Amino acid sequence: MEPYCNFDVAVENVREMLLGLLSDAYTDMPQRELEAVLDIALRDFLHYLAYRFGLYLTPRFREDKARQRLCVRIVEHWDFVRRIAEDWVVMWSAKWRQRVKLVFTDEEFKKATEAGVPSKPNDNLEKFLSEIDHLGLQLFTVSQLIKAGELAGLDQIADYIIREEASAMLDSYGLEGALRRYREGELAKRIMARIQSMRKTSEPFLIIRVDITRVWGY
């Protein structure tokens, strides 16, 4: 039986650590921008830790057990986690600047997104996602992104890739056909190919609208 660990407390400690490291890395960044960076960085770092500790490869993955195991490792190996974080922030910052664009007005957001507006998703997309192991696919995609050296905006980029590739399968095969090909592993193969193709571009994949009073992610 695994020891109990307060996940929220462990995550808050990680958050405070990252805030210090990011503040040192972005000394000229206004507080509101830093908050936008920190919220995403925290999720990205927790994914990175889970990947490093092999938690996403556990047979019969359960999110609650993975959270507890990650919590225990953070608490019991804090010095090791901090050393990982110090190196990770350097790598993550480089990817953040490459893959993420911050905008501060509606006009800037419109200009930044008008050239890359995605096509309308297939009408059966939500039904398709509800009938597959969506969480497992999300974690698979996040793991493949990390493996490929992509460290910033993992949740958002993974979700975008899954939805685009799933919608394309639905357009080609219909709902039943897409589900059958998903079970045969075709969606996973498409996701891996899409991630590999990312290496060919240095363009940003994530645009974040930073408001004066709040932070909105897109």
- Residues with Cβ within 8 Å of residue 72, at least 6 apart in sequence: 2, 3, 5
Within its chain, how far is the Cα of 171 from the centroid? 26
Cβ atoms of 112 and 207 closer than 8 Å: yes
Residue 205 pLDDT level (bands cut at 50, 70, 90): confident
pLDDT more than 70, % of the chain = 86
Computed on alpha carbons and rounded to an integer, the radius of gyration of the chain in Å comes to: 18
pLDDT, position 2: 63
pTM assigned to the model? 0.86
> Strand runs (DSSP E) across 18-173, as ranges?
100-103
Please tell me the distance from the alpha carbon of residue 65 to that of residue 205, in angstroms, as a whole number.
Answer: 31
Q: Name the residue among 59, 89, 53 with its Cα closest to residue 71.
A: 53
121 secondary structure, DSSP code = P
Token pair recorded at residue 126: 């939500």
* β-strand pairing of 215-217 with 206-210: antiparallel
Q: Do residues 154 and 160 touch, judged by C-beta distance below 8 A?
A: no
**Which DSSP letter does residue 116 get?**
G
Which amino acid is present at 27?
Answer: T
pLDDT at 128 over 60: yes
Give 15's contacts (C-beta < 8 A, 6+ positions apart).
Answer: 38, 42
Least confident interval from 37-41, 81-85, 150-154 = 37-41
- The string of pLDDT tens digits covering residues 81-108 is 999 999 999 999 999 888 877 666 667 6
Residue 197: what residue type?
S
Q: How far apart are CA 93 and CA 205, in angstroms?
A: 15
Percentage of the chain with pLDDT > 90? 63
Name the more confident of 164 and 32. Answer: 164
Query: Band of the pLDDT at 31, cuts 50, 70, 90?
Result: confident
Provide the mean pLDDT of the chain: 87
* pLDDT in the model for residue 173: 97
Task: Give the pLDDT band of residue 111 (cuts 50, 70, 90).
Answer: low
Q: At what angle do helices 63-76 and 7-25 cross, to 10 degrees?
A: 60
Q: How many residues does the chain have?
A: 218
Identify the weakest region by mean pLDDT among 107-111, 117-121, 162-166.
Answer: 107-111
